[in-house]
Structure 1
Amino acid sequence: MNKRTLVLFGAAIGLVLVGGVVGWWGHTAGGDVTIQETQIETEQGTIDGYLYVPPEAAADDLAPGVLAIHGYINSKETQAPFAIELARRGHVVLAIDQTGHGYSDPPAFSQGWGGPPALEYLSEHELVDPDRIAIEGHSMGGWASVAAAAAHPDSYESMVLAGSATGSSGAPTGNATFPRNLGVVYAEYDEFHRLMWGTESAPATPGSEKLQNVFGTDERIETGRIYGDFEAGTARALYQPSTTHPGTHHSPTAVAHVVEWIQRTTGGDTTLDPDDQIWHWKELGTAVSLFGGFLFLFPVIGTLSGTGPLASATRPLPEPVAERDRGWGLSVALTALLPVVTYYPLMLLGRQGLPVTALTPQNETNGIAVWMLGNAAIIAALVGVWHLRSDRTLADARARYGLDTGDGVGTLARSAAIAGGVALALLALLFAFDAVFRLDFRAWLLALKLPSALHLRVGLGYFPAFLAFFVALEVLLHGRLRTAATTESLRRALAENVALLAGPFVAFLGVQYGYLFATGALPVPLTALQTIIAFQFVGVLVGVGAVSTYSFHRTGRAWVGAVLNALLVTWLVVASQATHLPL
């Protein structure tokens, strides 16, 4: 192991540790808040959660309680900003994984999205005052909150819907008396305005007839005004922070509104101003650790491919097959445009057209899988046409594309072993990180969680589709598009490939959100969920481009990069999605 590899190892581990310490400090409010892993047993399975316990909570001095519920294809960790700040103010907070999400048993959407059994559990907890319980839910977590309130109308005092609404997708309908003491924190640029409050734009929410019915008025709602009466349980207020739907659980302003409403209705320590917040340290720490974990991949790839019995799977870089001519420029343009152009159609086709089965039990992963397979087919066709127009034999092309198999099965097996070894090393690092700090690797919407046994089982069904895409991508990046300049310079290759993969999605999101901020609505509001998922595509494609390029330059072949990216992306996607069958 050379000095550069050791330095890279040290930097990666250092970032993970520093991020873990900072994240732990923010998550536990400097060690004052105890976070307990909690499992709620029901007749239909287990609901997993975190219980945030402030130091003053005791059986002889009951604390106010809060049930915090995340939205669709998220997990309990995204409720940390609300949970941290409310626990700092003396509330016992139960943040759950919705059914079918995180580590809760599937199927998704069952048991009122997990809300009713979670509220029952919290109301009976030995540290919680059953007369001072609030419910907070973001997005689909708001539907779970309303379902919980309808199932247990005497078990809560107030509710906050953050980026959510009553009466959507089967959630109970609201009115002037239900839910009790309702605060609505609805972003000025929320992408789901049609689904939630039935308006043509998010800024038009105060004029929503549906919202007005819940507020008991036929006039436009005044933002920040208190309607109704707290004692009677009919209090209502609307707040519109200047953020987006996913930004609502990552916004200091939104967090302050939630904290203030719950403090006003359930008590707790009111000496802390709602704007006095520390949750961002937890988010910063996990983001630093995520970057450290990503950096950790490269010295492991170098070590496994450069020494020992697996090193024979590598070879010198083949000669480039492309020159920067007009045909190469056209290939670059198509590579940049086609993934974005096909994004909405193929994602929606997979989500709606690919049935949920034991092999494909995750709706949104189905969309991603179909997008990958569609793009793999397009890449294969384009590269095939280009190859037929060249004078190279198939054997020569395979060698230059990095698809040769060396001594056959042995080379493929050793390549797979390198990729598997890197993935296992990252898994071990995350396992240790979770054991010490009780955190995952996370930056806002992008998170790498420890996979459960169910996630591993589900991942096996999706892995072949993901692998097909990444083999095709290897051929494209390191066959058709690799020039003399990117063969000689790893840094240049990394920069160009990362920009080529992630750059178009950055531009795509810039157009979508530029339109949203200008008009209050997305260009195609029905694609709101896929637009939000595209944020994760940016982060994933940055990683994919870097891992693919580095692996190819280290091994001279496509196999390590393709298998490793398929393993990592399958892991990341499946562990973060909702499972829709009771497996």
Structure 2
Amino acid sequence: MPTPFVRKNSFWLILSLVLCLVSAVGAFFVQTNGATVAVKDMRWETSSGRELSALLYKPASATPENKAPVVIVSHGWWNSREMQDANYVELAKRGYVVVSIDMYGHGNSDPLPLGMEAENGTGMYDAVKLVAQLPYIDATQIGVSGHSNGARAANYAVVADNEAEKPLISAVLLVDNEAFYSDLTDPAKYVNNYGSRDVGLVADQYDEFFFRSYDANGQQLTPPREFIGTPNAQSFLNFGTTDDSEMRTADKLYTETIDGTDALRVIYTPAQTHPWGPFSKQTTEYTIDFFQEAFGAPDPIPAGSQTWQLKAFFNALGLIGFGMFLVAFTKALLVTRAFAGLRRTEPFQLAPSSRKGLYWFWGALVVSALFSGWSYVALSQSAALAPIVFNAAPTWIPQGAPFFIGLWAAVNGVFSIVVMVVSYLLFGRKSGQNLREVGVFPGWKPFLHGLGLSAVVVVAAFGIVFAVDYFFKTDFRFWVLAVKAFTPDKVLIAFLYLPLFLVYYVANSVAINSFNRFTIREKEWVNTAILALFNSLAPLILVIAQYWTFFTTGDLIGGFGGIFSIWLFPVIVILAASAVITRKIFRATNSPYIGGFIMAAVVTVISVTNTLTVAS
């Protein structure tokens, strides 16, 4: 007869799997518009000699007899093709064929050789050349669009298209990156680089990187929210001229006949930040309006009628299910013959709190949070790290962003170990704390046994991710936090970064479960909630400080670059979840290492599969 432990855990294990399945099925039906849009995973070797990965969304209405317009879309730097889901869901259900690429070095595309970002180095124009040959495509209606670095990819595609014997691109929408306003060889001369193409620009009022104007000495003159009045914006809306007879405004379509073709220009200026662009109803509405204006829509639907948010909801359900599975499957393995020896046999109890113990508890949390915030800012300002982090110089490190986060994590892991040692020597030992009883010294055999259990859990969890990708072409994500399928090369890269994340997540799990197990108001969940909050408190404060400053002054905090606050968005969620996951696993095993191993492996894989890879 199943024990209460087995019955209760079976419920959570089944629920986690149900959430993953509901996520996959729900997201699939939304992105295929009720199974009327075919989704294909494309990978092909391009004329540049590298393999490009893309998702193709083909409405049933697009046929050789009824050719459809096509839009190639691209994510930004350190992202992947799935980040364009709002666009491919909404455009495909309106009858457009949509191709969402992984730029070279991202997602499933081949790594990007250092210094090859320009022109075909992004992969955008390689995709344009491919779709022009598809039998169900109207080759006179090829559009390109991208967010951030994806917009730069669109710009490079236009440059390549200008040099082609037969230009292919007829419409361009640039989201959250500058247009090419001036002559590419003479920045002081405004010109129309886009010819007779229809071109739109989405310029966020609170963009962390772009849409500022500067004087001759490089001093900033205007913040992004004043972009529309700058010479760059006005020249763009005036088709490359410096006509100042009228002040052209945002959200208004301006047309001019160029080479016998009516071309349009428009600038949209939503009051939002740079990373919100791919997750914005407003930006998606602009995208729909722009391409319906440029091409017309095979199946016109009002731009405000959007369903991609449902896909985001289902994707988020899967993310929750994935996290639940890590805990529930770990517990399920504890009743198997292979791992039964790791199961806790005595009831779990929090240590009773004393006044001195609580002083150490709160003191350690505050000191650790302060060090976490200080170390992050200090590393972000390191001139020595910058070339590595941004892949600006040849190194043995193929991914700069995970290296930066991993290094910061390891530094804080070491600091946590120092705090625990001091705490034990000055308080714990005198209070009778037994390091073996609290799981710090489990013995080598249980330690290695727990490592094996962790490996099985991680492989099983990502097995679900790959199954969902194979059958439904979906993954688990919310905004910038994504758990997705990946190519084999990412496994080798993950092993490169795993030691950095192990230092932090193992030390953090030991600190949370072996050194901070005090009763708070006689409730264990209060203790866990406090630990989860303090785990993510420093990143949360940094993000709040950055955007409070930005929204009130129009500028970021001096010396704290926007990308570093953006990288903290998923970190906040992961750190809070880590405290809960490792605590629940510790309650079942009395080992702080199992949860630490699992979190380190999962976070490492998430990090290396959602970023830029540069070939050595």
Same fold? TM cut 0.5: yes
1:478 is aligned to 2:482 = no
Distance between the aligned counterparts of 2:433 and 2:536, measured in 1?
Answer: 30
Residue 333 (1) aligns with residue 355 (2) = no
Matched, 1:185 2:185: no
Name 2:236's counterpart in structure 1.
214
Map 1:352-391 to 2 at 5 A: 352=386, 354=388, 360-390=397-427
In the superposition, relative to structure 1, how do residues 68 and 532 fare at CA in structure 2: closer, same or farther (>3 Å)? same
Partner of 1:554: 588
Tell me how far 1:270 sits from its aligned partner: 5.9
Of 390-399 and 101-110, more deviation after overlay is shown by 390-399
Match of 1:268 in 2: 297
Q: Following TM superposition, by how much is the alpha carbon of 1:221 offset from its aligned partner in structure 2, in angstroms?
A: 4.2
- The residue matched to 1:130 in structure 2 has which SS? strand
Specify every segment of 5 or more residues in structure 2 that has no aligned partner in the other structure, as ranges: 215-219
* Correspondence list, 1:243-258, <5 A: 243-258=272-287
Structure 1 residue 99: Cα displacement = 0.6
Q: Which residue of 2 aligns with 1:22?
A: 26
Counterpart amino acid of residue 362 in structure 2: G
**Alignment match, 2:217:** none
Instruction: Kindly state the Cα deviation for residue 280 of structure 1 after the two structures are TM-superposed.
Output: 1.2
- The range that moved more, 352-361 or 490-499, is 352-361
Which residue is equivalent to 1:283? 312
Return the offset for 1:107. Answer: 1.4
| Residue 520 (structure 2) pairs with residue 456 (structure 1) | no
Partner residue of 2:611 out of 552, 577, 580: 577
Q: 1:526 to 1:386 in 2, by over 3 A?
A: closer
**Alpha-carbon distance in 1 for matches of 2:161, 2:279:** 29
Distance 1:394 1:346 in 2: 37
Q: TM-score, normalised by structure 1?
A: 0.92
Query: Aligned ranges for residues 141-540 of structure 1 at < 5 Å?
Result: 141-153=150-162, 154-167=167-180, 175-178=191-194, 180-193=197-210, 200-215=222-237, 216-217=241-242, 219=244, 221-229=248-256, 232=261, 234-269=263-298, 271-315=300-344, 316=346, 320=351, 323=354, 324-347=357-380, 349=382, 351-352=385-386, 354=388, 360-390=397-427, 392=429, 398-399=435-436, 402-406=439-443, 408=444, 410-485=445-520, 490-524=524-558, 527-540=561-574
Paired amino acid for 2:416 = I
Q: Distance in 2 between matches of 1:27 and 1:199?
A: 43
- Residue 358 of structure 1 deviates from its aligned partner by 7.2
Cα distance in structure 1, aligned partners of 2:468 and 2:129: 32
Calculate the aligned-residue CA RMSD, in Å: 2.8
For residues 180 and 438 of structure 2, what CA distance do their matches in structure 1 show?
Answer: 55
1:63 counterpart = 2:68? yes
SS of residue in 1 equivalent to 2:138: strand
Q: List aligned pairs for 1:30-179, cutoff 5 A.
A: 30-42=34-46, 43-107=48-112, 110=117, 111-153=120-162, 154-167=167-180, 175-178=191-194
TM-fit CA distance, 1:239: 0.7
Answer yes or no: is the 8 Å Cα contact 1:89–1:268 preserved in 2.
yes
CA contact (8 A) 1:176 1:234 kept: no
For 2:571 and 2:418, locate their aligned partners in 1 and report how far apart those are by CA, in whole Å.
24
- What is the identity, as a one-letter code, of the residue corresponding to 2:374? V
Give the share of equivalent positions with the same residue, in percent.
24
How far off its partner does 1:401 sit?
Answer: 5.2
Unpaired segments of 5 or more residues in structure 1?
none
| TM-score in terms of structure 2 length | 0.87
Shift in CA distance, 35/524, structure 1 to aligned 2, threshold 3 Å: farther
Report if aligned partners of 1:200, 1:521 keep a CA contact under 8 Å in 2.
Answer: no
* Partner Cα separation in structure 2 for residue 3 and residue 294 of structure 1: 19
SS at match of 1:34: strand
1:14 counterpart letter in structure 2: V
What is the total number of aligned residue pairs between the two structures?
A: 578
Instruction: Give the Cα–Cα distance (whole angstroms) in 2 for the partners of residues 273 and 473 of structure 1.
Output: 50
For 1:206, give the aligned amino acid. I
Is contact 2:228–2:249 with CA below 8 Å preserved after alignment? yes
